[in-house]
Amino acid sequence: MCAAGAIREYLALYTCNRSELYIVLPEDDGEAEVVRALALPGAQTLGGLEAVHHLLRVLLGLESMARGESHIVAQVKEAYAAAAGCGKVLHRLFQRALGMAATLRSCYHPGREPSIQFIAADSFRRGSAGGRVLVVGLGAFGSEMAELLAGMGFEVSATNRTPGRIAALGEKAGACRMLEWAGWREALGAYDAVFLCTGAPRPVMSVADRVAMRDGAALFDLGSPLQSEEGPGARVTLDDLRERAAETLAEYGRSLVRLEEEAARASGALLAEISVLADDTWKHLALARAKSLARERAEAQAKKLGVAPEELEVFAGSLLKSYLHPLVAVPAAHSARAWRILSGEGAEE
């Protein structure tokens, strides 16, 4: 479609339970035909401001099952680095979006974040009568799963196809018992839960393996694609956890309201900035970052001096206003770039 001129630019983003295609179309009336040709049944189509807003929400973890998580940023960066179809529009969009999302997160994110691993572990903890669990697969996802379960007090065993991963996790999480990959299937009957966290393209657990599990044991298949074959007994997948996430993270979600509001406001400025750099966007973010830094420093110094942090914050704020006053009062040729650097997005320049 690119060769035929129907699409000018494209970038594909694939993560767990997410398949997205960002495209730039020619300025003609063929948009509907292109969308019909590309969209799978049930796909959601967003354009213009909605598409930019969605990308910001993705980068901020607001579209993730574990809302507010930051793992998605690395996945978007990998997709962008590997993209062969980006042109000047998508290059600018993703570069600016990554920078703006980082600034928004530093200013408005509550600081803590959930994860799919936490949702899975919490789900097992709520309904568990036993405490012996097996984690299969020790990539970044599985290693965090094993450490989290061990931290919750479960007796954790872990295995990985590559021995080096086992040794690395063994040093990091001494509470975990390590199993050789060749022998974990024979030990399935000893566990109250099995967490499949591999990234294999085909299932690593067969029907026979599921039969060998202890009666009543829980199976959490957290792979994408699924890592276990259809078989007897219950199986919890990422789709099942999505339904449980709303209940588990209800209170946490309320702390993300400000971040969501700022993402909606910033998306309009980001859309305009794809073609024209907007001073006001970076000015707002730079001032927000300055206030956040002043608040952090004030709280730290207040503990040392034994005074109210609000007093130091007001003093720090007045200094910041005095320092930034020339830039606010007299816009110059390079003021947009200066505001970008002060916001933290353009520091690499």
So what's the pLDDT on residue 188?
Answer: 93
14-17 contact pairs (CB < 8 A, 24+): 14/79, 15/72, 15/75, 16/116, 16/224, 16/238, 17/65, 17/224, 17/238, 17/239, 17/242
Say if residue 305 is exposed, middle or buried (CB neighbours under 10 Å; 0-12, 13-18, 19+).
Answer: exposed
Taking the alpha carbons at both ends of the chain, their separation in whole angstroms is 35
So what's the pLDDT on residue 349?
Answer: 45
Give yes or no for a contact between 157 and 273, defined as CB atoms under 8 angstroms apart.
Answer: no
Scored b (16 or more CB within 10 A) or e, 111-124 reads eebbbbbbbbbbbb
| DSSP string across 78-131 | HHHHH-SS--HHHHHHHHHHHHHHHHHHHHHS-S----HHHHHHHHHHHH-S--
How far is the C-alpha of 193 from the C-alpha of 40, rounded, in Å?
A: 36
- Separation in Å, CA 240 to CA 41, 126, 228, 237, 304: 21, 15, 15, 5, 48
So what's the pLDDT on residue 326?
Answer: 67
∠110-114-120 over CA atoms, to 5°?
A: 165
Instruction: Report DSSP state, residue 140.
Output: H
So what's the pLDDT on residue 57?
Answer: 93
Scored b (16 or more CB within 10 A) or e, 172-196 reads ebeebebbebeebbeebeebbbbbb
List the beta bridge partners of residue 228.
205
Do the strands 218-221 and 193-196 form a parallel or antiparallel pair, or are they unpaired? Answer: parallel
* H helix intervals, 255-308: 257-273, 279-305
So what's the pLDDT on residue 278?
Answer: 43
Instruction: Report DSSP state, residue 159.
Output: E
Instruction: Kindly give the parts of the chain with pLDDT less than 50.
Output: 171, 173, 277-278, 347-349
Site of tokens 């799963």: 145
So what's the pLDDT on residue 118?
Answer: 83
* CA nearest neighbour of 265 among 100, 144, 116: 100
Do the strands 9-15 and 18-24 form a parallel or antiparallel pair, or are they unpaired? Answer: antiparallel
